[in-house]
Amino acid sequence: MSQHVYIFDTTLRDGEQSPGVNFNVNEKLEIAKQLARLGVDIIEAGFPVTSRGDFDAVQCIAREVKGVTIAGLARTSQADIDRAWEAVQYAEQPRIHTFIATSNVHMQYKLNMTEEQVIDAVVNGVKHARKYTSDVEFSAEDAFRSDIDFLCRVLEAAVAAGATTVNVPDTVGYATPDEFGRFIHTIQEKVKGIDKIVTSIHCHDDLGLAVANSLSAVREGARQIEGTINGIGERAGNASLEEVVMSLRTRRNLYGLDTRVNTEEIYRTSKMISKLSGMNIQHNKAIVGKNAFAHESGIHQDGVLKERTTYEIMNPAMVGITHTNLVLGKLSGKHAFKDRLVELGYTLEDEDLRKAFSRFKDLADRKKQITDEDLEAIVEEEILTIPSTYELSYLHISSGSTVVPTATVGLKYNEEVSEEASCGNGPVDAICKAVDKMTGIRCRLASWEIDAVTSGKDALGDVTLKITVDEERFYQGRGISTDVLEASARAYVSAVNKMVYEKQKGRG
């Protein structure tokens, strides 16, 4: 049996199903490029039939991201599969990932189908997908809660129809490690022909066991693990891929298995997903959390200083966490700026480089030293965005404990700057109301969060917020500045731009 475990990343599909997460096409493309640098084997870029926006994103990724398999999700219907192929056909290595539910509760209440009808759908769907590509994955949704004998019949039918990967999901995170391992073992024994293809697993984290279940499955012969960066996804999320990969690497003596993931890209990838999704990483999160390699106890500090392995089973550098302090300031030139961005994993086109460098110089006038974290924040805010309908030109705030907060905001629209002032119950509220006056869009601020990009009194404030008009569709905005109110204004305008852009494209 192969000792290679395929890493199937579904951050752009299942991860985006996290409540309130909505990546635009540009963000999805940059995430996919970073996932390729990370070294995952398969990127599930989306579910093309669900919307024009998702289709465009999958197709864009298929055209531009090389060296990795690009998968599109589809139900077993021909229309879904046709649409998925339209999107992924341009990839170097295209895959169609088709699925249908197999548990009694899903077949009775959701599908209203008999067992035989489900098997027919599986066979027809896989055969239709094979007309387009030799790389077809079949998933039995809610597999773990399915009758095991029926599930084996379904998987055997999928293999016979031409599936090259069969995926066994614990869709609702119900399994425990011991029983999930036995479950996979039974499938490996009973399903005819399964030894000739790849068995995959897809575990959810409702009981906090997704990673443990995934590792239990590979010990029983599964050779593809599906999950997301930071474990984002439906409800409590998916198996956290950084935890899976580092478990296999750190405990190779136990598992004897390898992946092709470049672990030094893990931290950068995690930060990108956190910022673009608006989902902050908990400080005690394994592998990538702020405290993952922190030591406060005097005994621990003493031990680590004498010998790192006394309290660290992984070297932080293995996942890309370094303590390099790059000193760039207002006298630094574009060449040094560009070189450092390349070292950080960002290769920008001339126009994007000009925008980022201009923002860097503006920041350098207010901040004595610019760190790697500052540079990453600049690139993520300035470059990974959709075209801007409105741009923040200036901002004036009057606020205090004895005055009514008032904001005067200048916005550029069609190369002309307009100005409005408004009062609010706080300076952020006043800013939002002033922007609403100029755009003519009355938005509700659904959430507002601030984080410090770096330490110190001149640290960049990183504001992430979400707005809505109809309480159904939410738009995320992000802004950075040493002034938290300016960061808030930038974030709000960014969110409004996303709303306007999607409405213009007819996707809102």
List, for residues 189-203, the tens digit of each pLDDT value. Answer: 999 999 999 999 999
**Cβ neighbour number for residue 237 with a 10 Å cutoff:** 23
CA atoms within 13 A on the CB side of 391: 13
CA separation for the pair 121, 260 (Å, rounded): 34
Residue 470 has pLDDT above 60, yes or no: yes
Summarize pLDDT for 261-278 with one digit per residue, the tens.
999 999 999 999 998 898
Residue 478 has pLDDT above 90, yes or no: no
**Cβ neighbour number for residue 391 with a 10 Å cutoff:** 14
Residue 389 has pLDDT above 50, yes or no: yes
Phi/psi at 136 (5° precision): -125, 125
403's CB contacts (< 8 A; 6+ apart) are none
Residue 144 contacts residue 169 (beta carbons within 8 Å): yes
Q: Residue holding tokens 């405990």? A: 251
**pTM exceeding 0.85:** no
Which DSSP category does 111 fall into? Answer: I
CA separation for the pair 32, 196 (Å, rounded): 29
Location of each CATH 3.20.20.70 domain in the chain: 6-277
pLDDT of residue 296: 55
The two beta strands, 403-413 and 416-423, are antiparallel
pLDDT of residue 376: 78
CA angle 335, 338, 340 (to 5 degrees): 110
Long-range contacts at 446-449 (CB < 8 A, ≥ 24 apart): 446/20, 446/474, 447/20, 447/278, 448/488, 449/278, 449/280
Confidence of residue 508 (pLDDT cuts 50, 70, 90): very low
pLDDT of residue 327: 59
Confidence of residue 325 (pLDDT cuts 50, 70, 90): very low
Residue 155 has pLDDT above 70, yes or no: yes
pLDDT of residue 300: 62
Structure tokens at 455: 């330490």
Helix (H, G, I), strand (E, B), or coil: what is residue 104? helix
pLDDT of residue 150: 98
79's CB contacts (< 8 A; 6+ apart) are 49
Residue 385 has pLDDT above 70, yes or no: no
pLDDT of residue 75: 98
Residue 388 has pLDDT above 70, yes or no: yes
pLDDT of residue 397: 95
Mean pLDDT highest for which of 324-328, 455-459, 485-489?
485-489
Location of each CATH 3.30.160.270 domain in the chain: 391-504
Phi/psi at 419 (5° precision): -135, 140
Q: Residue holding tokens 């399915």? A: 146
> Does residue 22 or residue 147 have the better pLDDT?
147
CA separation for the pair 443, 429 (Å, rounded): 11
Q: Which of 49-53, 214-218, 306-310 has the lowest mean pLDDT?
A: 306-310
Q: Which of 184-188, 248-252, 310-314, 495-499 has the lowest mean pLDDT?
A: 310-314
Residue 255 contacts residue 218 (beta carbons within 8 Å): yes
CA separation for the pair 233, 204 (Å, rounded): 8
Single-letter residue type at 132: Y
Q: Which of 61-75, 145-159, 217-231, 288-302 has the lowest mean pLDDT?
A: 288-302
Residue 478 contacts residue 469 (beta carbons within 8 Å): no
Summarize pLDDT for 65-120 with one digit per residue, the tens.
999 999 999 999 999 999 999 999 999 999 999 999 999 999 999 999 999 999 99
The candidate with the shortest Cα–Cα distance to 399, out of 420, 435, 424, is: 424
pLDDT of residue 374: 80
pLDDT of residue 348: 81
Residue 170 has pLDDT above 90, yes or no: yes
pLDDT of residue 504: 79
**Phi-psi map region of 468: left, alpha, beta (phi>0 left; psi -120 to 50 alpha):** beta
Q: E strands, 124-249, where?
A: 136-141, 165-170, 198-203, 224-227
CA separation for the pair 431, 424 (Å, rounded): 8
pLDDT of residue 298: 60
CA separation for the pair 116, 156 (Å, rounded): 13
Averaged over 154-182, what is the pLDDT?
98
Residue 381 contacts residue 374 (beta carbons within 8 Å): no
The candidate with the shortest Cα–Cα distance to 326, out of 339, 338, 340, is: 340
SS3 content of the chain, % helix, strand, coil (to 5): 45, 20, 35
Query: Domain 6-277 classified CATH 3.20.20.70?
Result: yes
The candidate with the shortest Cα–Cα distance to 126, out of 164, 167, 72, is: 164
> Does residue 349 or residue 152 have the better pLDDT?
152
The candidate with the shortest Cα–Cα distance to 230, out of 171, 289, 315, is: 289
Averaged over 14-35, what is the pLDDT?
92
Q: Residue holding tokens 């992984």? A: 314
Residue 470 contacts residue 410 (beta carbons within 8 Å): no
Single-letter residue type at 258: D
Residue 252 contacts residue 219 (beta carbons within 8 Å): no
Averaged over 232-240, what is the pLDDT?
97
pLDDT of residue 195: 96
Q: Average pLDDT of the chain?
A: 91
pLDDT of residue 323: 54
464's CB contacts (< 8 A; 6+ apart) are 275, 278, 280, 448, 449, 450, 451, 476, 477, 478, 491
Hey, what CATH topology would domain 391-504 get?
Answer: Double Stranded RNA Binding Domain (3.30.160)
Residue 304 has pLDDT above 80, yes or no: no
